Amino acid sequence: MSKVLEVKNVEKYYGNKSNLTKAIDNISFKVNDGEFVGIMGASGSGKTTLLNCISTIDRVTAGHIIINDKDITKLKGNRLNKFRREELGFIFQDFNLLDTLNCYENIALALTIQKVNPKEIEKRVEDIARKLEITDILKKYPYQISGGQKQRVASARAIITNPKLLLADEPTGALDSKSARQLLETFEYMNKELKATILVVTHDAFSASYTDRILFIRDGKIFNEIVKGEASRKEFFEKIIEVQTLLGGDLSDVI
């Protein structure tokens, strides 16, 4: 299987010489095409910094990030913007839908800024809306729909450009448990049926249990990695809890 993302010895430092913080400390991993990968960690562990580096919003201090055979740490300016626009899709915790645009327009906007042919835009929006079951809310405005629906619209916006990699930052963070479950099923659908490669950052074990593989991060380092494999989701969930306990309650921390 071809790899979509390769993170090679990435380091990210904040601060100056006298007071240096290593937010990411020599992390390396790979994500293959069609994988659904989760990154877990407590707050302050560096997971959001890592996601920011991968999503080209932030720059690495050292190391390389290769997405679809392109080293994004070497891209600059407009080419970086173009890359982000065309190769990546984003889903945020707080949806980031434009309140002045209705759902249809919010989804279409991702394509119009890529200068896609208007006729094709209509077709693709309707297509993705049908697949994600949001056809009947397309004419509504964000303030008229629920959080779960908003996040599904945001997912549609993220995937409609056919990105190589879909990045999600705490996508269930602002949702109630029912909406969260529905959204995760949508993610699963996008991964299995639409063949999207998804990288999701979360601290919620339930959300993580939907993924194929989880990387645990602590103090800027990869602490553990578990793979779902043939296990059921319940078994995988228990395994996650186990690692999390270990991660959170290190013996040395208590003493």
Partner 1 sequence: MLFKISFKNMKKSFKDYAIYFLTLVLGVAIFYMFNSLDSQQAMLDVTSSTREFIKIMVRMLELVSVFVAVVLGLLIVYANNFLINRRKKEFGIYMTLGMSKGQISRIILFETILVGILSLVAGIVIGVFASQFMSILVAKLFQADLSEFQFVFSKAACIKTCIYFALMYFAVMIFNTITISRYKLINLLTAIKKNEKLKLKNPVLSVIVFFVSIALLGWAYWTVTVKANTLNTAEKAFELIIVGIVGTLLFFWSLSGFIIKVIQSRKSIYLKGTNMFVLRQLNNKINTTVVSMSVICIMLFMTISILSASLSLRNTMEKDLVEMTPVDLNLYKTANLPKSYVNAYGNVITCTEKQIEDSKYPITYTLENYNYDLNKLKDIVEIPIYVTDELTWRDSLGSSFEEAKLEFPGLLYDSPEEIVKVSDYNKIARVYGLSEYSLEDDEFIVLCDFDSMKELRDRELKKSNATITLDGKIYHSKYNECQSGYIRMSTSHVNTGIILVPDSCNLKEEWKEQYFLAANYNTDSEDEYLKIEEDFTNNTSQIIKELKNDSIELDGMTKNAIVESSVGLATMVVFIAIYLGLVFLIASAAILALKQLTESADNKQRYTVLRKIGCDEKMINKALFAQIAIFFMLPLLLAIIHSIFGIQFALSLLSGLVSSEELIPSIIATVIIIGVIYGIYFLSTYFGSKNIIKEE
Residue 149 contacts residue 156 (beta carbons within 8 Å): no
- How many residues belong to the site for partner 1 (CB under 8 A)? 31
Best CA proximity match to 160, nearest among 209, 110, 113, 117 = 110
- CA separation for the pair 50, 74 (Å, rounded): 17
Q: Whose structure tokens read 């959204």?
A: 183
Minimum separation from the CB atom of position 171 to partner 1 (A):
14
What are the residue ranges of helices labelled H in the chain? 47-54, 77-87, 103-112, 118-131, 147-159, 177-192, 205-208, 233-248, 251-254
C-beta of 12 vs 157, nearer to partner 1: 157
Residue closer to partner 1 by CB (options 97, 129) is 97
| 155: its two tokens | 């997912």
Quick one: which segment of 66-74, 78-86, 145-153, 189-197 binds partner 1 (CB under 8 A)? Answer: 78-86
Interface residue with partner 1 among 141, 189, 206, 223 (CB under 8 A) is 141
Q: Return the number of the residue (95 or 216) whose C-beta is nearest partner 1.
A: 95
Rounded to whole angstroms, the Cα distance separating 159 from 44 reads 29
- Shortest separation between residue 104's beta carbon and partner 1, angstroms: 10
Q: Give the span between the Cα atoms of 103 and 91, in whole angstroms.
A: 15
Q: Which is nearer to partner 1, 141 or 223 (CB)?
A: 141
SS3 118: helix
Q: How would DSSP label each residue in 193-222?
A: TS---EEEEES-HHHHTTSSEEEEEETTEE
Q: How many CA atoms lie within 13 A of 9 on its CB side?
A: 2
Q: Closer to partner 1 at the Cβ: 134 or 208?
A: 134
Q: Which is nearer to partner 1, 99 or 238 (CB)?
A: 99
Q: Which stretch binds partner 1 (CB under 8 A): 17-25, 111-119, 196-204, 222-230?
A: 111-119
Q: Does 143 bind partner 1 (CB under 8 A)?
A: yes
**Residue 165 neighbours by CB distance under 10 Å:** 22
Residue span binding partner 1 (CB under 8 A) among the ranges 19-27, 104-112, 126-134, 210-218: 104-112
155 to 184: interface string for partner 1, x by CB under 8 A: --x---------------------------
Supply 221's token pair.
């380092």
The half-sphere exposure of 74 on its side-chain side, counting CA atoms within 13 A, is 6
Which residue has 């293959």 as its token pair? 32
Sole window of 34-42, 66-74, 94-102, 126-134 interacting with partner 1 (rule: CB under 8 A):
94-102
For partner 1, the binding residues (CB under 8 A) are: 78, 81-82, 84-86, 88, 90, 92, 96-101, 105, 108-115, 118-119, 121-122, 141, 143, 157
